Amino acid sequence: SVSVLNESTCAVHSIAFAPEYIHLALAAASSDGRVRFYSPTDVIGLTNWTASGSIEFIPGGASDSDGPLCLSWCKSRFSTKSMIVIGGSKRNKVKVYQRDNVQQWDEIYQLDSYDAFVLDIDWAPSMGRSYHLIATACSDGHIRIYKFWPEPTHLSAELTDSLFIREGDEFDNEELGSAPHVEADNGGYSDESDVDDDEDGEDASDEGSSDSDSDDDSDGSTSESGDDARPDRPGRAKGSGKKSKAKDDGSAGKAWVPRSELVGDLIVDPQVPIRRVRWNSTGTLLVSSSDDGVARMWKMSVNGTWREIAAITAEKSSAEA
């Protein structure tokens, strides 16, 4: 062996190298509820590795009876910061963590929580999509697939993949809740209806009442947007996609909140745990393996539903049959 990493005194359940374009690093999830990160001091010889940080996924620690821990790095080259998703163990939660500039890992989002053990998890390559895909394998026979929007930069790119878009889906910045665009010249939106309302209010009233009329107009435009009447979409905050008029107090610049949406819940057999899930190099095919000895391939159809396209066993595959 080149090097031995023995900081963890418990069983190591999952281990993964960081994507090569980030830096040379290794993450290891142990049964004590911690994920430890290692970096080499000599990137040529790789004989000496040091601990470069850790995540206490289970506060207070855990044990083998609480179930395994699994992890997967974010594989997107366009992410501004390194991210990792961790699942399993006590309470069976799936959480996303992000590394800041001082090598600290902060929890930014809880993807989901299950009644069964999370046995494996995999973060798909982005391949130009405006969102991420994360798949989980559970002991209840379910494979769950999520869309994940961690930051508004993925939305502003306006990049979409026709293989993963259902008819009628909207991927513009306003609908998905990014911060509204404010023009630097006049401090307001380039919306002709807003300009017309302000001009009408100024002509119909004197200088002393123009401000109050303008406020009434802005409030009226918000109530007429139909925000409360529009049904909410899964994984989307109510009214988050609507545009509101900018104020001088800076209330329009709200902090971005990560979002997710469950887009696939695949059931093989409730009595057969799913042990592994892995995406292909483009993030368009998902392969799963379960305790029945079958490896299955899953693909999303043009109408947005996921279906099994092949099942492979040691004897014969369904594609050959």
Question: Tens-digit pLDDT profile for the chain (321 aa)?
Answer: 777 887 777 888 899 999 888 788 999 998 888 899 998 888 888 888 888 889 999 887 777 777 789 999 998 887 778 999 999 877 789 999 998 877 789 999 999 998 899 999 999 987 778 889 999 999 999 999 999 998 775 444 444 443 444 444 444 444 444 443 434 444 343 444 444 444 444 444 444 444 444 444 444 444 343 343 333 333 333 333 333 333 344 444 567 789 999 999 999 899 999 999 999 998 999 999 999 999 999 999 888 889 999 999 877 655 555
* Cβ atoms < 10 Å from Cβ of 198: 16
Could you give the C-alpha distances from 193 to 161, 184, 189, 199, 218, in angstroms and in order?
33, 18, 10, 10, 11
* Cβ atoms < 10 Å from Cβ of 160: 14
Alpha helices in the chain (DSSP H): 153-156, 192-204, 210-223
Burial class (CB in 10 A: 0-12, 13-18, 19+), 184: exposed
Using CA atoms, how far apart are residues 137 and 47, in angstroms rounded to an integer? 34
Using CA atoms, how far apart are residues 214 and 208, in angstroms rounded to an integer? 11
Q: Look at residue 190 in the predicted model and tell me its pLDDT.
A: 42
182: region left, alpha or beta (phi > 0 left; psi from -120 to 50 alpha): beta
Q: Look at residue 194 in the predicted model and tell me its pLDDT.
A: 46
On whether the CB atoms of residues 8 and 26 are closer than 8 A, the answer is no
Using CA atoms, how far apart are residues 84 and 71, in angstroms rounded to an integer? 7
Burial class (CB in 10 A: 0-12, 13-18, 19+), 45: exposed
Q: Which amino acid is at 82?
A: S
Backbone phi and psi for residue 83, each to the nearest 5 degrees, phi listed first: -135, 155
Non-local (6+) Cβ contacts of 236 within 8 A are 176, 177, 259, 261
Which tokens hold the place of 2?
């080149």
Which tokens hold the place of 92?
């069976």
On whether the CB atoms of residues 41 and 48 are closer than 8 A, the answer is yes
Q: Which amino acid is at 46?
A: L
